[in-house]
Amino acid sequence: MQTLIPYLAALHGIAATLWIGGMFFAYFAMRPAAVETLEPPLRLKLFQASFRRFFMWVWLFIAVLLLTGYSGLFARFGGFSASYLSLMHGIGLLMCIIFLVLFFGFYLPFSKAVSAGDLPKAAALLGKIRWTVFANLMLGIVITFVGIAGPYL
Ligand code: HEM
């Protein structure tokens, strides 16, 4: 297990980077660009198609983060030996819960509404998706600070 630790830590960092980077791109680049260039029906279809792809990856990132996070926590630190580790675990689980709400509560009904042509409903759900992505992005930035600066504080 000890020889696996560097690889687990690297995988943890890679999954975190890809999840957080994807949210940053979606929120700060793709969404405003879509608003600027596309009419609502096409814009909603673009979001449906891109969320379908991105969220499938997010499931994988979450599985990797939880697996590598808890195995690293116990193999390297013997459990919650420092307060920044408890913070990492708390914020990490919160991000996963927010993603579950986003996926099942907003994204699946959003996708159904787009496919059914119910654009007002889809637009309302997209607003909720936007805020939950923003919340997870902010938590993702905080958790990165905790994970990287935590050992030095
Ligand atoms: C929920 C369960 C999680 C646990 C138990 C956990 C555990 C850990 C541990 C033990 C470390 C190593 C700390 C050190 O080197 O001193 C770490 C680092 C880190 N974690 Fe987490 N983590 C979790 C979730 C997350 C999530 C959801 C993200 C971001 C999306 C994340 C991002 C990071 C980052 C950026 C680092 C610093 C770089 C690295 O060591 O890979 N973690 N985490």
pLDDT (tens digit per residue) in 128-148? 999 999 999 999 999 999 999
Looking at beta carbons, which pairs linking 38-46 to residues 24 or more positions away fall under 8 Å?
40/119, 40/123, 41/119, 44/114, 44/119, 44/122, 44/123, 44/126, 45/114
Structurally, the chain folds into a number of domains equal to: 1
Among 8, 88, 145, say which to mutate for ligand 1: greatest number of ligand atoms within 8 Å of CB. Answer: 88
| Cβ contact 91:136 at 8 Å | no
Q: In this predicted model, what pLDDT tens digit does every residue of 39-74 receive, in sequence order?
A: 999 999 999 999 999 999 999 999 999 999 999 999
CA-proximal residue: ligand 1, atom 40 (nearest): 9
Q: Where in the sequence is the domain holding 68, given as residue range(s)?
A: 2-152
